[in-house]
Structure 1
Amino acid sequence: MRRPVRALVSAAALTALAVPLGACDRWSSKCDTDNTCKILIQGDQFHDFPRPYDKDHGLKSADRIRLVSATQGGEALIQAGGVENTCTQGSSFQVVDTTITCDVVGDDKVELTTTRP
């Protein structure tokens, strides 16, 4: 009788360890042109923005972005350009020369499209 209990406790411990690993940070960005990028952010770590917010700074960026919080179908709080901005699905905000549009707002994740002149 002890073995099934021990196996059950071991399985529960492994599950408890695996669940936080599933909530890891994810980041991806793909820029189709010099002016437009698609970005996925999951988690709350800072990431290098793929292009400078200021169009006069070329293509190499030292700018940072992070998702502070997001709720499914609700609002995302995004820190970009040293300022916290909120957006809902389909809305946009401006950082210097860059317009950032929230395409999808999910639980602790956001998909963005960025454009600049």
Structure 2
Amino acid sequence: MIVSKKKHVWIYGDVFVDYLVRDYLNTTFNTFLGVTTVNVAAGVSRLGAPSAFITVIGDDATSQFVWNELRQESIDLSFAKPKTVPGSGTILNSMRTWYPKWFEMKFLTGD
């Protein structure tokens, strides 16, 4: 178990990347971090309180963008875990592991 004596506002969640098109041909994009949990962590940090983000992030180029952006916001990533997934070009959805098995099926089918 990892123990931290630092005081933080702890945020747990996913990280998503938004790609916004720059031209009408959809060939170039601007990249931005998205999702509420990242906004909360960055907002807390910008207000001067230390924030720490607990998540799982991949190790591909997009994930490196995420690591860099979160560090630029002075978010403590000591408890963010890098994860290698063969053939994965996406950031891992860290919260998927705690959903009950029935949740996804009901969500997708509307039952």
**TM-score of the two chains, using structure 2 as the length reference:** 0.29
The structure, 1 or 2, with the larger RCO (C-alpha pairs under 8 Å, 6+ apart) is 2
Which has the higher Rg, Structure 1 or Structure 2? 1
TM-score by length of 1: 0.28
> Greater share of helix residues, 1 or 2?
2
